[in-house]
Structure 1
Amino acid sequence: MRRTARLLLASAALLLGVTGCSHTSPPPEPGVLTVGIGDPAHLLPADLRDQAGRTLVGALWTPLVDYDAATGRSIPRAAESVSTTDRTTWEITVRAGGRFHDGTPVTAKSYVDTWHTVAAEHWAGSGALTEVLRAKEISAPDERTLRIVLDRPFGQVPAVLASPALLPLPESVLASRDWAGFEANPIGNGPFRMAEPWRPGVGGRLVRVDAAPGKAHEIRFRVGDFATQYDRVKAGSLDLATEVPGDRHDAMHHDFADRHAMWPLPEAGYLAFPVSDRRFADAAARHAFAMAVDRAGLAAGPLAQQVDPAAALLPPGIAPGERSGTCRPCTHDQAAAKALLGQAAFTGPVTVYFGAGQGNWARPLADQIGTALALQVTATQRDDATGESADGPVAMTRSPSTSSPQELLAGLARAAGYTDEGFAHLLAAADAADAGTDSGQLYRLAENQLLRDLPIAPLWSGHGHAVWSQRVHDVTATPLRGVDLASISV
């Protein structure tokens, strides 16, 4: 009887032990990187809309060049060289031996065919990308030479060539135009290839194309709740989380003191003032509205620590170097705002318009302005509103496709209905200059004019976050590509 009891107790203890082990994560596999990520809206390079898509595409493709907007420096990647003698005719030499993951070669014609095919379906009115697409000639004189002849000098071609939207697609995909099928199982030319089709809401698996000692040879993506992913990285059961929710933002600096990264995203928010509303014809009224905004409050509140308060018109991810002066319209100063509005003899009520998906911050923005200026200010969604045609200010988000300041500055001026000969001259001079110090200074002059005339006021700029476990090293990120998964050591 006693022996039977002892056996039962031993069996129960063993069962408990087994049950307990079922809740313990298996040890990490050497060379395998597990990554928490959001579900990308799209995986077609020409149609990226979120950080998850940029991160995945950055692993699956290699761009012609990498471009640093702060310095104007470009580093050849899939291109062997990018050259011009007059900034009007550009020649790109494609590296020999490049292949898509389906085994077909990547040639100069791959880019020409991709740009012409995808442009017709995805890039209509897409800002600076049309500077290339409006070219007088885009051709492939031979297998490795890509020639672009523009209708005017444009020094920002390297910044445009770094855009994910200009990544090449295989000929089979261009022929079928099965974009939905392609997004489920993308075929790129980058360091990783898809090992299985992407499963929305679940994730997918990538494997490295060529051996890279010390680096991850396989990446397993897990789609899920960002807070849960953060906690799993902290517990060591997940290697990397590519986004950090607002309620973990402050804790991140303590939980991952030397294992977190923040980087600027190509996303920014603005408030455009309509030329059709004569109340905003006076610059004092425009500056009053801009200075009534508590940008830090928006960042910490409705925007959940995913942005930084704007300190310039050009966000850090696009900016050509640091600004030399302060952005006065970016300053929250309620007393000055009310005084300026009094000078303009402004009368209410006012409606702030916003597009789809922007109500979470546009409505609090309207409340802030109304409280600060003692005006009746409401917010209404109207997707066709622009700073040129609306009968009230327009809250808008801009996500440039390239690192070129030209795309954003020209786009903001168009969005606000702003026309000025001096601004156009400055922008043309900056476009024609060599990428780097000269163009950066000229773009800053164009930006300064927009800040003085203020047809559109900067509000915030987006930033990305990542946290990683102790077994992960060499984590870097860039605005257009997100976390560089190929460089990570495990």
Structure 2
Amino acid sequence: MRLMSLRLAAGALAASLALAACSTGGSDADPTSTGADGAAISVAISPATQLIPGRNIEAYDFNMAVWAPLTFVDADSTLTYVQAESIETEDAITWTITLREGWTFHDGTPVTAQAYVDSWNAVAYGPNAFENSGQLANVVGYADLNVTEGEPATEMSGLKVVDETTFTVTLLGPDSQFPMQVSQGQTAMYPMPASALDDFEAYNRHPVGNGKFALTNDFVENEPLILEAYADYQGDAPTVSQITFVPYADTATAYTDVLAGNIDVAGLPPNKMAQSATDFGADHVYSFEAPGISFLGLPLQDPRYQDIRVRKAISMALDRETINKVVYGGLFTPATAFTPAIEPGTPVGICGELCEYQPEKAKALLTEAGGFTGSMNVYYPGGVGLDELYTAIANQLRQNLGVDAVATPSTDWAEFYETRLNGLATGPYFSRWGALYPSQQNTLRVFFVEGGGCTNCIPWYDPEVADLIAAADAQVDGAEAASAYAVVQERIMEEFPAPPLFFEAYSFVTSERVAKLNTSAAGNPNYSQTILAEGA
């Protein structure tokens, strides 16, 4: 059988997924732009402790500027090659990746197939305890590097170097989504130079990538990161020559600093969404459709939530439209499925009346289920701008169901995360995920497969659901894959383990220096392709 090129494989992912093989990183910017000297922007980011791609959980914007991925998925879900020249398969199990020639890391060493294989093995190696290790879990041999007893292996048997620019990846089973898994969102797939493998602590102080921008200063926690355009970058030129990432512990302060012109871009906090257009004007508020979705997680180990009628009642008691208007300024979309609408094939509307505001039906269902005893503690992470949202949720549950519902914030994110991770939340709680690549696969795996990535976000793990997801992954034909993922959601609907809340948009505000902020299907701005205002 002849090799099936990525043109066929990617086209089969979903009807809306296209391929532009001649591109080296899609954007809405002028592809001929070279980025004038002195064209600099400053961007607010969350404080980070780890910049290494395999460990990054906070520094996505930094990673996407300093590294180039194998593939890139743009805002229109068009998949293009970047570091990869081609990605081919004949069975969706073994994939052959051929790299573009002439690319180098910022230290001048070549980007080779061996560099990719060594990097992926280092990220997957259990004793290294890299947070993003699980992104490689579907590669044959991953389990051998993550044993509970005895000495772990150091190399995955599913990775083989063919020559300087070619390597193969063998997966545990057929997976048509692999070309998207190596796009910009899954940072564990980024390559590292050989020098990084000798001292990860030193590498974290000054990471060296293969992307458009190189870090100029050593990393010091809570200090700005200054990036300069890499002169020898082989892909599309950036439209700016410098990016300074400025850490902010308080999102409200970052918002105020953009308004004052002290920095150029910041994420829009939820509690500022309703007023942002008034503060900045419509031209400087950006809301990008994103592969993010939020749920109201439920403590299913508690007998009070085990009756499906209770779960349905909670969902129908929520007026998502009003919450979206009042809290989010209309920038979000009430969810009607278990995956974001931007992910190809999502069966929008599958939730039906259970995701509609039906307060009378909700109260009748709860009564039919025997009512609800005790208080309903609606728990969420404090200090991140979610107070108004969860206060509204608690108020609606109290008013529409007659339950003693109260919104309770954690002290901080760390406390909330540990509580949810250990299954200790006593009532409905914050639950969300922003997919790392725009496929139903990523969202469904994360929420509904044990160990998939968001532990206890929705603590319901049905083996039948895992099998259905695997069956959908194996479908190479786009229409058949979409139908197979829809079957997964039909099975989830039968149990309705958690109410979907919102399809998210990732929103940002900019200073007057920014004429256009570009994005991708990951929802994050593509800062390297920012268009500055004339004279900025």
TM range (shorter): 0.7 to 0.9
Equivalent position of 1:78 in the other structure: 83
Equivalent position of 2:106 in the other structure: 101
**Comparing 204-213 with 357-366, which one deviates more in the overlay?**
357-366
The percentage of counterpart residues that share the same residue type is: 28
In the TM superposition, 1:420-435 aligns within 5 A as 420=462, 423-434=465-476
In the TM superposition, 1:17-28 aligns within 5 A as none
Equivalent position of 1:145 in the other structure: 166
Structure 2 counterpart of 1:62, from 44, 64, 68: 68
Q: Secondary structure at the match of 1:36?
A: strand
- Shift in alpha-carbon separation, 1:387–1:370, aligned structure 2, 3 A: farther
Structure 1 counterpart of 2:308, from 272, 280, 283: 283
1:311 aligns with 2:336: yes
Equivalent position of 1:130 in the other structure: 137
Equivalent position of 1:241 in the other structure: 265
Equivalent position of 2:198 in the other structure: 175
Equivalent position of 2:482 in the other structure: 440
Once residues 461 and 83 of structure 1 are traced to their aligned partners in structure 2, the CA distance between those partners, rounded to angstroms, is 33
CA drift of 1:64 comes to 0.7
CA drift of 1:81 comes to 0.8
Checking the alignment, whether the CA contact within 8 Å between 1:34 and 1:238 is kept in structure 2 is: no
Checking the alignment, whether the CA contact within 8 Å between 2:177 and 2:473 is kept in structure 1 is: yes
In the TM superposition, 1:402-413 aligns within 5 A as 402-413=437-448
CA drift of 1:161 comes to 1.0
Checking the alignment, whether the CA contact within 8 Å between 2:471 and 2:484 is kept in structure 1 is: yes
Equivalent residue letter for 2:112: T
Once residues 125 and 219 of structure 1 are traced to their aligned partners in structure 2, the CA distance between those partners, rounded to angstroms, is 25
Checking the alignment, whether the CA contact within 8 Å between 1:156 and 1:431 is kept in structure 2 is: yes
Equivalent position of 1:19 in the other structure: none
- Shift in alpha-carbon separation, 1:90–1:173, aligned structure 2, 3 A: same
Once residues 340 and 164 of structure 2 are traced to their aligned partners in structure 1, the CA distance between those partners, rounded to angstroms, is 38
1:345 aligns with 2:351: no
Equivalent position of 2:240 in the other structure: 216
Checking the alignment, whether the CA contact within 8 Å between 2:277 and 2:285 is kept in structure 1 is: yes
Equivalent residue letter for 1:320: P
CA drift of 1:340 comes to 1.4
CA drift of 1:166 comes to 1.5
- Shift in alpha-carbon separation, 1:272–1:31, aligned structure 2, 3 A: same
Note the aligned Cα RMSD (angstroms): 3.6
Once residues 347 and 97 of structure 1 are traced to their aligned partners in structure 2, the CA distance between those partners, rounded to angstroms, is 65
Q: Which has the larger Rg?
A: 1
Once residues 384 and 233 of structure 1 are traced to their aligned partners in structure 2, the CA distance between those partners, rounded to angstroms, is 34
Once residues 332 and 287 of structure 1 are traced to their aligned partners in structure 2, the CA distance between those partners, rounded to angstroms, is 11
Equivalent residue letter for 1:165: A
Equivalent position of 2:150 in the other structure: none
Equivalent residue letter for 1:207: E
Equivalent position of 2:23 in the other structure: none
- Shift in alpha-carbon separation, 1:270–1:48, aligned structure 2, 3 A: farther
Checking the alignment, whether the CA contact within 8 Å between 1:54 and 1:480 is kept in structure 2 is: no
CA drift of 1:369 comes to 2.0
CA drift of 1:190 comes to 0.4
Checking the alignment, whether the CA contact within 8 Å between 1:386 and 1:394 is kept in structure 2 is: no
Per the normalisation by structure 2, the TM-score is 0.73
Once residues 170 and 213 of structure 1 are traced to their aligned partners in structure 2, the CA distance between those partners, rounded to angstroms, is 22
Equivalent position of 2:45 in the other structure: 38
Equivalent residue letter for 1:170: P
Once residues 355 and 230 of structure 1 are traced to their aligned partners in structure 2, the CA distance between those partners, rounded to angstroms, is 22
Equivalent position of 2:56 in the other structure: 48
Equivalent position of 1:164 in the other structure: 187
Structure 1 counterpart of 2:399, from 358, 371, 378: 371
Checking the alignment, whether the CA contact within 8 Å between 2:379 and 2:425 is kept in structure 1 is: no
Equivalent residue letter for 2:87: V
Equivalent residue letter for 2:198: A
- Shift in alpha-carbon separation, 1:39–1:81, aligned structure 2, 3 A: same
Unaligned regions of 5+ residues in structure 1, if any?
A: 1-28
Per the normalisation by structure 1, the TM-score is 0.79
- Shift in alpha-carbon separation, 1:242–1:275, aligned structure 2, 3 A: closer
CA drift of 1:378 comes to 4.9
Equivalent residue letter for 1:156: Q
Equivalent residue letter for 1:112: V
Checking the alignment, whether the CA contact within 8 Å between 2:287 and 2:331 is kept in structure 1 is: no
